Structure 1
């Protein structure tokens, strides 16, 4: 499972280096490709090990081709999906359309989300964190009892 946020750099060729602690988990399937796609709710990318992506594809296959919103979800997630591999140096090449979608520049954040990673521009990540803090504070104000269940 993937957790934690790591500051990483996008090189001039559009590659990122996956932190060493995650490489064994991502490469566990004998050089199986990873799948990189867009997040339909946020300006970031999603990086899945192939096994986790297969579960997503099964869910997408059940969506309708005649319902406009369901078809749009399939179009975005599958249309942008790219097989990528970790090279010998632990790097992954991010295709130009995906870099453009997420407004990726040099400074990025790789954020573990259990079965996948999010890849954010550092600026968008900071904005997202601020918005998340505000949402948690607003929710705490509205429903403090429910949030106390999650207090550590």
Structure 2
């Protein structure tokens, strides 16, 4: 399970160093694609991505929303291999989509990582806290039963 928010720098070639504690679990390879709902990237282990790919394969190309999701996730999906220094290269297309420059956030989300521009991440966190505090009465049943 992946967790934590870590500040990382992209180098001039668009590479980021995977935090040491996650390298072994990602050594089989990774796939990076866009976040569907936020201006970030999502990074999956290869085994997790294969499960997602199987689910995407069942989506219809006739149903517009399913076709769009399939097009976006698969169209942007890029295989990433770690070099000997534990770095992966993010393609220029992915970096442009997420507006990644030098300072980024590497954020564990259980089965995946989100990769954010650092300023966008902090803005999103502030927006999320504000939205949650103003809508606390309308929590879903899943959230109401969460003990935190």
* Map of 1:59 onto structure 2: 55
Distance 1:63 1:85 in 2: 28
1:128 pairs with 2:118: no
- Alpha-carbon distance, 1:149 to partner: 4.1
Distance 1:17 1:64 in 2: 37
Unaligned 5+ runs, structure 2? none
Distance 1:144 1:46 in 2: 26
Q: Number of residues paired by the alignment?
A: 147
- Alpha-carbon distance, 1:23 to partner: 0.7
Distance 1:137 1:151 in 2: 17
Distance 2:144 2:133 in 1: 12
- Gap change, CA 1:145 and 1:91, over 3 Å in 2: closer
* Map of 1:18 onto structure 2: 18
Distance 1:15 1:144 in 2: 39
- Alpha-carbon distance, 1:150 to partner: 3.5
* Map of 1:3 onto structure 2: 3
* Map of 2:84 onto structure 1: 88
TM-score by length of 2: 0.93
TM-score by length of 1: 0.91
Unaligned 5+ runs, structure 1? none
- Alpha-carbon distance, 1:67 to partner: 1.2
- Alpha-carbon distance, 1:59 to partner: 1.2
Distance 1:111 1:150 in 2: 21
- Could you list the runs of 4 or more consecutive aligned residues of structure 1 that deviate by over 3 angstroms after TM superposition? 143-152
- Alpha-carbon distance, 1:151 to partner: 4.9
Distance 1:144 1:17 in 2: 37
3-state SS of 2:20 partner = coil
3-state SS of 2:124 partner = helix
